[in-house]
Every structure is written in C-alpha cells, then in structure tokens.
Amino acid sequence: MPVDLPQPLDVIAVGAHPDDVEIGCGGTLARLVEQGYRVGLVDLTDGEPTPGSSGREERLAEAKAAAEVLGLHHRQTLDLPNRRLFDSFEARCELAKVFRRFRPKVVLGIADKTPMASPDHWQATQITDAAVFYSRLCKWDEHFDHLPVHRIDKQVWYPLGFSTTALPPHGGAFVADITATYEKKIAAVKCYKSQFPAEKKRVWSILEGASLSNGAAAGFERGEMFLSATTVGTRDFLQTVLPAVDPVDAP
C-alpha cells in the first residue's frame, strides 16, 4: 500500500536537544529559508530533565518559538531519553524514518564530541551518521514503517563544542555567510529562556566571537563553520574559490 508522504524538505538539521541546532547553525538555516529552501529540524530528545526548566512543555514551547523565529517548515522531537541518549538500533531507525518521510537532499549533524558538555552530543553524531545510511537500505521495510527508501545526497557536520579549537577529521571545511541572519540566530537561541538565564551571559560572547572569527576567515562579517563528511568538489572553480555576490546585495 502506498504511503502518504508530506512535501519533501531540502535540508534537515539534527540535534540532541532543543537549542543545539540553533547554536550550531541557526543562522544558516534562517538564510536557507530566506533563499527559498524548505528546512526542517529534528531534536532527538526534549532536553528534559534540566535544572532551569519546569518540564517538557516549557522546552517544547521554547523550541516552537525558536522554529518560528528561523522560519522552519518542520520541527520534530523524537521520544528518546535526554541524559541517557545512546547510539542504538532503535534510535537509528527512528531518525531514519524521519529522513524517509521527508526525503531531504542534505542532512546536518553535530560534528563530534563536546568536551565538558553533554555526552548526548557524541551519541547524536553517531545516530545521525547511521540514520543517513539506514535511510537508503532496501529489504528492511519492517523496521521503517514501510516508508520508501531515500538516498540522501550529502551529509554535513556543524561544530558544537566551543571549548576546543581542534576539528575532527572531515572531507572539507567551509563557512556559510550569516551576516544577514545572525540576529535571527541569536533571537532563536534567546527563546530558550530556561537554558540561558542571566548568569549564563557568557554564551552570547562565545557565539559573537565564533561568528566573527568564522566570518573573518572567509571574508564575511559573520559566519558559521561546517565540515563536509566527504571531500568537497566543484565543477566551477572560480565560483567556488571567489567570494559569492549575494543577490540581495548586488547592484
């Protein structure tokens, strides 16, 4: 029996908790939306329990508000456990089902471990990597609600650990210009009032510094770094190596 599928998404970004994606690549997601792409976000857990929140409903409300700020076309929270998130067959299948249902061209996932922060982030990396593979596996329909197989064209990682400047092995690093959407990124992160009270004001300095540093490295005012899972190739050398002219800014 054919499965009724929603309109596909161009990009799906995956985080372990609500606020991971906004912190790591929220400016880029907002920019993609402005450019006309359909963008989705998957939180593997609801982030609860957490010290500053009243519970699941508050976190989900914050996530909904942040999605509206970024203009996302779809946001979904999986029913996996915060603080006890582990790379498992079941977790891989749950995320792969989302990929099969929404058929993204590109998947963004957390790049690596985040020293001194939640170990859930590293588990999310492994779950996302596996789910990209599981999404295209045939003859295994019973594990994916009989959703059709879907091959994802490209997987890209976004760094989330700000306590180290070391980068994990990757096929190529690049920076996306978020000059025009940096304020949207910050507004989305600020939706998480339970996670960023006044005593955590250092986070705004960290995000400010990262955006300026990444942007300066690529010739932009502000930027977000990404790591391609495979080597980045080009058929238009100059278009790739020269700074692109933003149609919005073109004369």
Here the CATH number for the domain that contains residue 62 is 3.40.50.10320
pLDDT of residue 3: 75
**Tens digits of residue pLDDT in 24-65:** 999 999 999 999 999 999 999 999 999 999 999 999 999 999
H-helix or E-strand containing 44? strand 39-45
- pLDDT exceeds 70 at position 8: yes
Residue 107 vs residue 243, higher pLDDT: 107
Q: Cβ neighbours of residue 41 under 8 Å, at least 6 residues apart? A: 12, 13, 14, 15, 21, 29, 67, 72, 74, 75, 76
Sheet of strand 74-80, all strands in order from the earlier edge strand to the far edge: 74-80, 39-45, 11-15, 106-110, 154-158, 223-228, 172-177
The residue type at 157: W
Domain-located, residue 5 = no
**Which structural domain range is residue 73 located in?**
11-241
Q: What angle do CA 57, 113, 130 make, to 5 degrees?
A: 80
pLDDT of residue 251: 47
DSSP code, position 199: G
For range 109-113, the mean pLDDT: 95
**Tens digits of residue pLDDT in 158-213:** 999 887 788 888 989 999 999 999 999 999 999 999 999 989 999 999 999 999 99
Domain-located, residue 56 = yes
For range 87-93, the mean pLDDT: 98
First-last CA distance in the chain:
53
Q: For 58, how many CA atoms within 13 A lie in the half-sphere containing its CB?
A: 12
Domain-located, residue 145 = yes
Whole-angstrom Cα distance, residue 201 to residue 48? 22
Domain-located, residue 144 = yes
Mean pLDDT estimate for the chain: 94
- pLDDT exceeds 90 at position 241: no
Domain count, the chain: 1
pLDDT of residue 249: 52
Domain-located, residue 4 = no
Share of the chain above pLDDT 90, in %: 86
- For residues 134 and 90, is the Cβ–Cβ distance under 8 A? no
Domain-located, residue 250 = no
Domain-located, residue 146 = yes
pLDDT of residue 137: 97
